[in-house]
Amino acid sequence: MQIKGNLCAVTGAASGLGRATAKALHDAGAAVLLLDLNKDRLEELQAELAPGTTLAVAVDVRDPGDIERSFDDAIAMFGPLRAVVNCAGIASSAKIVSRGEPHDFDLWRRVIDINLNGSFNVMRLAAARMVKNEPIGEAGERGVIVNTASVAAEDGQKGQAAYAASKAGIAALSLPVARDLAEHAIRCVAVAPGLFGTELFDHIPEKGIEALKRALLYPARMGLPSEFAGLVRHIVENPYLNGSLIRLDGGARLPA
């Protein structure tokens, strides 16, 4: 999929991996729909980018109306929606039982609702628009969806039951959705980042972070958001990547 001249949407664009991805796609020549709850930070990012090439909209990824309106407004401004990258999400740290008390069920539902249900909401509404696109390029593609899972989907830590479950759901979506959309020439791929120094780590106790760092192989450092964004760009541009979960973790396997 050619990025230059096409419309790409990024959720969670105000910070972290989403912000880096939005900038990378914009630098590659895309018009970018910037989606996030944080309106102020969205506007800061938009001000950094070339005028007239982005649309910034404060949305809740769980709200169908929010997402549909933002997609339709961007399509009216920039043309067909060709790529969507789901980066919106929250972290949590809570054991299933702690000091005799069960895991907060409202916290469980919130993590699943934002991370998994929100991502699927964006996917389904994006796909409904992509199937109407004219095929382009050598592969005759209509679109591509990239989701952000996590190595926690496979190596979940103590206190990550809700987060790991939400990310495992995202990981599991790639193949069936790719199969659903194959007849329409639309791809679906998930990336499972490892340890990246983003705002999500603000919710993890220092002891937990130090334990995670001991699992690093090479390079012995946290990942850079630009490295995640570079992989997303490659996925969008490489038509033979489909239905896969790609770990981006420097070879780390997180211990119990």
Phi, psi for residue 67 in degrees, rounded to 5: -70, -45
* Peptide bond just before 205 cis, omega within 30 deg: no
Which one from 163, 166, 242, 245 is the annotated catalytic residue?
163
Evaluate the CA torsion angle 45, 49, 52, 54 in order and state its sign.
negative
Give the C-alpha distances (Å, rounded to integers) separating 97 from 101, 105, 168: 5, 11, 21
Residue 147, C-beta contacts closer than 8 angstroms, at least 6 positions apart: 85, 86, 119, 123, 170, 173, 174, 188, 189, 190, 191
Of 166, 126, 122, 121, nearest in space to 144 by CA: 126
Query: How many CB atoms are closer than 10 A to CB 50?
Result: 10
218 counts as catalytic: no
CA dihedral angle for residue 173, residue 199, residue 108, residue 87, rounded to 10 degrees? -20
Residues known to be catalytic: 163
